[in-house]
Amino acid sequence: MQSGEEAEPRTTRSPLARVGSWPIVLAVLVAATLVGGGATAVLARLVGDLTSTSGFGARSLGDPRFVALAILATDATLLAGAYLVVIRRGVATWGDLWPRSARTRSPVLVGLGYGFLFVLLSGAVSTTLAAFGVRQDQGALFQLAGAGPLARAALVTAGVVFAPVAEEVFFRGFVFQAMAARKGLVRALVYSSILFAAVHGNVAAFLPILAGSAVLAYSLHRTGTLWVPIFAHAFNNAFAFAALLLSSGIPPS
């Protein structure tokens, strides 16, 4: 009898089971992260070398324009990785990565509800960690106080529109579904959430992000449509940006 990782799943209905093993998932994630990081470095150098009259003279990666570029570059490589491993190789179709079940008639409203749950749960974890001296520092990555309207708009567009779509296709559409088909629901939920939290590279925020990721994966499992975790993810990111703008003394524009 085969063990653990290589055992046949109870159901093999999903063709994504073929790409749900740890070696494949980790290889795609690491490769996409490295390529995305390299693309970000190149873009940051090119943008930083432009004159200040162009509006992109800042050289700090804390500048929201560079952060927006980093989000676009890294998430685009995640999409490319999912495409090359799943679609290009003929393992499955975009319809498999982006399920649109009719189990819910209002994916927007349901997604916003799960997004609210995401905010509540991750906020509760953050509050608990703060009681033990672990403070969240994600806001330090987004220096909005001196940013102009275009820079803020670029960051919000990348973080609230593009990132939820790209990351949900990769982490829930590909990783979670492939692992669920191969390893079962519970392990897939745990493993995909750990990977999602780890790829953000923020130790202090690891547990809050992991909790939120579990909500996103569960929402896909319950509703059968990727639109729900996409809207939930977008709600969480929009809430975070709004809180950051308010804490910076900048009215949302």
Query: Where do the domains of the chain lie?
Result: 16-96+106-247
Cβ-contact 141, 71 below 8 angstroms: no
99-104, Cβ contacts within 8 angstroms, sequence gap of 24 or more: 99/173, 99/177, 99/220, 99/224, 99/225, 99/226, 100/225, 100/226, 100/227, 101/223, 101/224, 101/225, 102/224, 103/222, 103/223, 103/224, 103/225, 104/223, 104/224, 104/225, 104/228
- Write out pLDDT tens, residues 137-170: 666 656 665 667 787 888 889 999 999 999 999 9
- Write out pLDDT tens, residues 75-116: 999 999 999 999 999 999 999 999 988 788 899 999 999 999
The pTM of this model reads 0.87
Cβ-contact 71, 163 below 8 angstroms: yes
